[in-house]
Chain A
Amino acid sequence: MLDHITEKVAAGADIDAKEALWCLTEGDLLAVGRLADSIRRSMHPEGCVSFVVDRNVNYTNVCESRCKFCAFYRDADAEDAYLLPTGEIMGKIEELVAQGGTQLLMQGGLHPSLDITYFEELFSLIKSRFPTVQNHSLSPAEVTHVAGLSGLSIHETLSRLKKAGLDSIPGGGAEILVDSVRQEISPKKIGWQGWAAVMREAARLGMPTTATMMFGSRERAEDVVEHLLRVRALQDEGGRFTAFIPWTYQPGNTELGGESASGVEYLKVLALSRIVLRNIRNVQASWVTQGAKMAQVALFFGANDLGGTMLEENVVAAAGCRFRMSREEMVELIRGAGFTPVRRTTLYRELERY
């Protein structure tokens, strides 16, 4: 099987579900890693590893979705429920800009009363005050929620948000794009078709997007494969995914509990992502969930990007995962693995080579 898959990979052909499943369940870690590494090197022959200086602003933790794997959400009447005042959001973006940041990732709960007007006003204000910052915000679940609250279609919602200053859409909330798994871990969240619909519409409107996968909760290996194939098909249909970002479920403080995926499982899924998703240019290592050591090792298992420096992150931190990394550490980490560090924009344009 390995020889067969190696041949296909060398010929630039897509591997199928059975082959992908074999990589995950029976393939040797280093053999699968080597396939991913060869694809990564042919797609990024210059030997660079990139990152973006960004900040996650979680505007509210009030969420009607109450996903079982999440430690971040609160009910509206909870003591520590919050909605950031606009002034505070602006202050955070100011800090981001002062530190040379280029990307703002606003993500929050599905708040019962924040409709399209709230986001239109907020995004216009952000664009007028910080025209150079890339507003990379609102995952498909939030977009769908805003559309529902405002009585608008996805098309109308995205068009209006785009007009107000939304530049691109992060791929969060994908979890596992298989509804049987979603039923178990996030029954109130949009199904996989709903996620796909927002990403299709965004692509039609010319908005770049990313795709994520949260694994290590309740899914089977077959579900991971299905997820990857669905993302690949969406991209083939005209998707505008700039990157794929697999990360592991963090069980701390969650209703779902249990354990996190191990290091070997993470690297295998990462490598398989690189192998399956040849039509997506970038694969990110998740230092936030894996720590710096594993993120560095991941650069040999298909990853060519380390995501953001994240001046602020609250969602994964709520689940007990508190890795931090400065820009200097990131540069050092990349160099230590023998690659050239590159600071980039959200859309992977090079800003600085170290």
Chain B
Amino acid sequence: MTFAAIAEKVRSGVRITEAEALLLFEHPDLLALGELAQAVNERLNGRRVFFNVNRHINHTNICVTRCRFCAFYRREGEPGAYLMTMDEIRGRAEEAAKEGATEIHVVGGLHPDLPFEFYLDLLSTIKAVSPDLHVKAFTAVEIAYLADLAKLSIPQTLERLKEAGLGSLPGGGAEIFAPDIRNQLCPEKVSGAEWLSIMEKVHQAGLKSNATMLYGHLEGIADRVDHMRQLRELQDKTGGFQVFIPLAFQPEHSQLKIGGTGTSGVDDLRTLAVSRIYLDNFANIKAYWVMLGEKIAQVSLAFGVNDLDGTVVEERIGHEAGADTPQTMSLDAIVAMIRKAGRIPVERDTLYRELRVFP
């Protein structure tokens, strides 16, 4: 199988196999790969690039799991451990609403002592600030934990959270599905199979979600492709994933010592490009500027990416890990960045509905 033959397939809209995705990963001509991903992206999205105006709330860093790649978690009572009060959460949501945010992104540690009601309260508190704020909250890992806490099934748990205001789910906690790698990274976390099965139930409950992949640590290219295969298969079944977001591992403050200074720029662009080509049933591929840096995120718009996440505001997890990007990017800065890449900025809501085009 040659690159040209794969390109031919892709250009005529035929799905590629895992072996072909592997070959794309190993193809030395980065620009040819970029052109192919760009062609797929432009077929789907034209020259439009999405972003949203959002705010992150990481309500606690206290976590019972100790994932080795994570520099965010603390034990209860440890210096730096925190849990936001409901007033603090409300305050942040109010601030966000005032600044024109349409989305609150909530993820946090698996806190040992909080009751299920805390989470219901958190959702309804944010919704009480403004019913127009979309609350995208809790990774599949948190959902599994909450279900245990509430002694409810996953669908029942989701139903209760939905009633309290849950709008959709972020895609975190997927890390890498391959069991041998996952066991080294985060042995206490739900398995890849469980993550996928929770997402299936999320989608069945009528909720949309995102999907991520943490790369650039112990995994190989084959593990990345296999991760994407499982996402593509579930997406075929449910259609509930809105976007795929590869996340570059940040080694600086992590316990996981693998040497080096993190993923390379070429690896970032390749991973985004191959995912755009392979995940033919995903409408959107997102470059998360917090972890990639603004320059690579902007360049990735020529490598298949059509979504730049949002203004973010006060993200803590990637930054604890050593990401040296700013805490936030203004709407003007995102719009300028997209325009300077020769593309059309489009503000979206969490569910990828167009809110505003910046011609």
Q: Which residues of A line the B interface, CB within 8 A?
A: 28-30, 33-34, 37, 262-267, 290-297, 299-300, 329, 332-333, 336-338
Contact = CB atoms under 8 A, between A and B. Distances in A.
A25 B159 CA distance: 52
25 contacts: A29-B299, A30-B35, A30-B38, A262-B294, A262-B295, A262-B341, A263-B296, A263-B297, A263-B298, A263-B299, A264-B299, A264-B301, A264-B340, A291-B293, A292-B265, A293-B265, A293-B292, A293-B293, A293-B296, A294-B295, A296-B266, A300-B30, A329-B260, A329-B261, A336-B266
B122 interface: no
Given A263-B295, A263-B299, A297-B299, A29 B341 contact: yes
Contacts of A33: 31
A37 B28 CA distance: 13
B264 A294 contact: no
B342 A266 contact: no
Given A293-B296, A300-B31, A338-B28, A264 B267 contact: no
Given A292-B264, A297-B269, A337-B266, A266 B31 contact: no
Interface of B: 28, 30-31, 34-35, 38, 260-261, 263-269, 292-299, 301-302, 336-337, 340-342
A332 B268 CA distance: 15
Nearest to A337: B266
A255 to B, nearest CB: 22
A30 B298 contact: no
A329 B269 CA distance: 19
Contact of A333 (B35, B264, B302): B264
A184 to B, nearest CB: 21
A264 B342 contact: yes
B340 A294 contact: no
The B contact surface, by secondary structure, is helix
Given A30-B35, A33-B31, A264-B340, A293 B298 contact: no
Contacts of B299: 29, 263-264, 267, 294, 297
A30 B304 CA distance: 12
Nearest to B263: A293
A291 B295 contact: yes
Most chain B CB inside 10 Å of its own CB: which residue of A293, A297, A338: A293
The A contact surface, by secondary structure, is helix
B51 to A, nearest CB: 15
Contacts of B341: 29, 262, 264
Given A30-B35, A263-B299, A297 B293 contact: no
B264 A264 contact: no
Contacts of A267: 299
A34 B29 CA distance: 10
Nearest to B34: A30
Instruction: Give the 6 A-B residue pairs with the shortest CB-CB distance, closest first.
Output: A293-B265, A263-B295, A297-B265, A336-B264, A296-B265, A262-B340
Given A34-B31, A294-B265, 5 more contacts: A30-B38, A33-B31, A262-B340, A296-B265, A336-B264
Contacts of B296: 263, 293-294, 297
Contacts of A333: 264
Nearest to B269: A297
A132 B252 CA distance: 38
B264 A337 contact: yes
A333 B266 CA distance: 9
A65 B34 CA distance: 44
Contacts of A264: 298-299, 301-302, 340-342
Contacts of B269: 297
A265 B28 contact: no
A134 to B, nearest CB: 29
A34 B36 CA distance: 13
A29 B293 contact: no
A265 B340 contact: yes
B31 A30 contact: yes
A30 to B, nearest CB: 5
Contacts of A30: 31, 34-35, 38, 302
A299 B265 CA distance: 11
A29 B265 contact: no
Contacts of A294: 265, 295-296, 299
Contacts of B301: 264
B292 to A, nearest CB: 8
A193 B337 CA distance: 35
B336 to A, nearest CB: 8
A332 B295 CA distance: 20
B294 A336 contact: no
A293 to B, nearest CB: 3
B295 A266 contact: yes
A293 B295 contact: yes
A33 B266 CA distance: 14
A140 B21 CA distance: 51
A245 B97 CA distance: 46
A28 B337 CA distance: 16
B304 to A, nearest CB: 11
Contacts of B295: 262-263, 266, 290-291, 293-294
Nearest to A333: B264
Nearest to A261: B340
A337 to B, nearest CB: 5
A47 B204 CA distance: 52
A292 B324 CA distance: 13
Contacts of B298: 262-264
